[in-house]
Amino acid sequence: MRLIVYSVLVTVFTALFYSILIVILGPGPPEEPGVNLASAKRLGYKQLEDIPPRHVPREYDTDVRRLVFIGDVHGMFTELKDLLKKANYDEATDHIVFTGDLVTKGPDSLKVVDFARKHGASCVRGNQDDRVLLHYHHDQAHVTDSLSDSEADPAHKVSKSEAMIRIEKALARKMTKEQAEWLDSCPLILKADGVKGLGNIAVVHAGLVHGVPLRQQDPAALMTMRSIQPRSRVPSSGTDGTHWARLWNRREKNERVPRTVIYGHYAAKGLDIRPLSKGLDSNCVRGGKLTALIASTRTDEPEMVSVCCRKYYNK
């Protein structure tokens, strides 16, 4: 019953906020596109998909299989190649899973997309991927019913610099139809059960709200959340609440079959490895590291691999 009430309240609040924005701002596309609960379904977002079972390393597999989960790349293609070399990536046995934000800020976003397409990688949709795609679709089809990140997350108003918006729009104009279609195919959540060393997992860009079924998680929160407001339990992209991963670990450990969340997005935290959550955004684009978590049939516990990055983005 509590989940039902929560879902209804979030939906009503989002709809009310959207109505107020329409009155204030008027109709038409804003300068900062994004997604909200009302528009996600109309825009064709994929909420939840399974990692193909043939790629999942399981406890008693005799064949060599590895899942290589990679944190936010942000167009840092050279570092991506360095990371895979250090991890001894083998296309015959390994499957790459990106935790979102493959593009923007770094110098080679489309090279990263092309690499992922070529190697049949899996991915989840990050907030930066989302913004570029919505610029692309606006240019192609004049989408007018999307909201900005700040509009999608009423608990925390996000400001975007004009420079960042220009970067997003320029990248959107360079994308081919094939590149856009591949990036658009990334769901909001990927899941797999029985992964050796990890158990049941969910891969998402930003985070999950505990107690809400995966198919009912808020699309905007999945791409932008960092904390949860302690009283209202509303997810926020700000940091003034409780880190969602802290709440997840505290509550999920009591579940009969707990699920481990693998995510990116929270660069300020850096690597944040907890029993039931693995934060992999180690701030590569600002001169930190690019990190992979590798689950394998050859090891009992997942392996962490990182490489140092150039400092490319200063904003």
Contact 148, 32 (CB under 8 A): yes
Cα distance between residue 199 and residue 211, in whole Å: 19
Indicate yes or no: pTM above 0.85: no
Contact 285, 75 (CB under 8 A): yes
CA distances from 105 to 33, 72, 163, 285 (A): 17, 11, 11, 7
Could you state, in chain order, the average pLDDT of each consecutive group of 10 residues for the chain (315 residues)? 47 41 34 52 84 95 94 98 98 97 96 98 97 90 44 40 86 96 97 97 97 94 91 84 94 95 94 97 96 96 96 76
Pure H helices in 26-161: 37-42, 77-86, 109-118, 127-141, 149-152
In the 3-class helix/strand/coil scheme, how is 71-90 assigned residue by residue? CCCCCCHHHHHHHHHHCCCC
Amino acid at residue number 33: P
What is the structure's pLDDT at 27?
33
Cα distance between residue 85 and residue 161, in whole Å: 35
Degrees, nearest 5: CA angle 73-237-111: 15
What is the structure's pLDDT at 157?
39
| Location of structure tokens 């955004």 | 281
Pure H helices in the chain: 2-25, 37-42, 77-86, 109-118, 127-141, 149-152, 162-174, 177-184, 219-224, 244-252
Residue 280 DSSP SS3: coil
Inter-residue long-range contacts of 159-163, CB under 8 Å, 24+ positions, other chains counted = 160/32, 161/315, 163/315
